[in-house]
Structure formats: C-alpha cells, structure tokens
Amino acid sequence: MPKPVAFVIELLVCICALWIVSFFSTLFHELGHAVGYMLSTGGRRWHIRVGSGKKLIDTKSLTVKLLIVDGYFDPAENRIDTKAKLISTLSGGPTASLVLVILLLILRFGGFTFDSEIITAETIEFFINYALIYNAFILIMSVIPAHYISGENKGMETDGLKILNTIRDRKHP
C-alpha cells in the first residue's frame, strides 16, 4: 500500500478511535447522573444527549450528535422534590467521571504491560493517556462552579454551580 494512503487510513482510524473514547467518556458521565437520579428517586425514565451539532442517533433514551463537546441528562419525569435528590442526581456525573479517572490512573501507572500483535503498546498507552486527560477535563469542568462557554450547554450552569446554588437556596425543595 502506498505510504500516503496508509497514512490517511491510520489518521482516520485514529480520529474514529478518539471520537469513540470521547463518546463513551461523556456517556459514562451522563449515565452517572442517571444512576444518581434512579437511586434517589426511583425514576427510570430519562433522556441523555451526548454531543452537539448534527444528530447521528436519536432514540427514546439517547441522542448522539457528531461533535462530542458536551452532554446533558434530562429526567423525563421530574421526581426531584428535595435538595438531597437533586444533589444526588447532580453529583452522579462527576462521581462517575472520578471513578473513570481513578481506574485510568491505575491502568496508566499500575505497572501493566500491554502485549498485542495488532496494536502497539505505545498506541494503547496513547489512548489511555487521552482517556485519562479527557475524563479529568470532564470532571474538572463539571465541578467548577461556573457557566458552560460552548456547545449546546453554552450559558447553562455546571453541575458544581447547580450543587452550590442548591445548597445556598433555602427555598429550593
């Protein structure tokens, strides 16, 4: 195979693999919100959006969009009637991201060796590093009390700001 063609194929495979890692990282964060919601309210109906831009998949429970820059958890029925339930739902995403970061740190620095005939150890290490950085970024950006500055969540409050406002608000359920 000519080198330019091989380069283009490898580049496309790498881009797709990075997209998949980003997708599953964001989905795991949003599923953390779903778990927090289900545990605190018993509710089982919710919708998750992963990404922005053009829709790739749209089902009853999940919407996947092309650009994986953000995500959103939306309960289909609002059973959140106390501060504790709201904080449980909001903290589920960052907790899931924290678990992923810890697992990836163990995988990265735990002395594991990767032996594969298909993928080199350096490639595996690259993707573990990418996943670690991406999940740490999701974790940090979600707990900082601020407003999102891009994507479909632009202007919305982060999980951290929502939790802080919930704790401060004496009138909130």
pLDDT tens digit at each of 173 positions of the chain: 788 998 999 999 999 999 999 999 999 999 999 999 999 999 999 999 999 999 999 999 999 999 998 999 999 888 999 999 999 999 999 999 999 999 999 999 988 887 778 888 888 899 999 999 999 999 999 999 999 999 999 999 999 999 999 999 865 55
Residue 172 has a pLDDT of 53
Q: Where would I find the H helices in the chain? A: 3-41, 83-109, 121-143, 159-168
Instruction: Record the pTM.
Output: 0.92
Collapsing DSSP to helix, strand or coil, 146 comes out as coil
> Which residues, other chains included, contact 140 with Cβ-Cβ below 8 Å and sequence gap of 6+?
none
Contact 81, 89 (CB under 8 A): no
Contact 99, 31 (CB under 8 A): no
Domain boundaries, the chain: 24-42+78-168
* Rounded Cα gap, residues 149 and 78, in angstroms: 26
Residue 75 has a pLDDT of 95
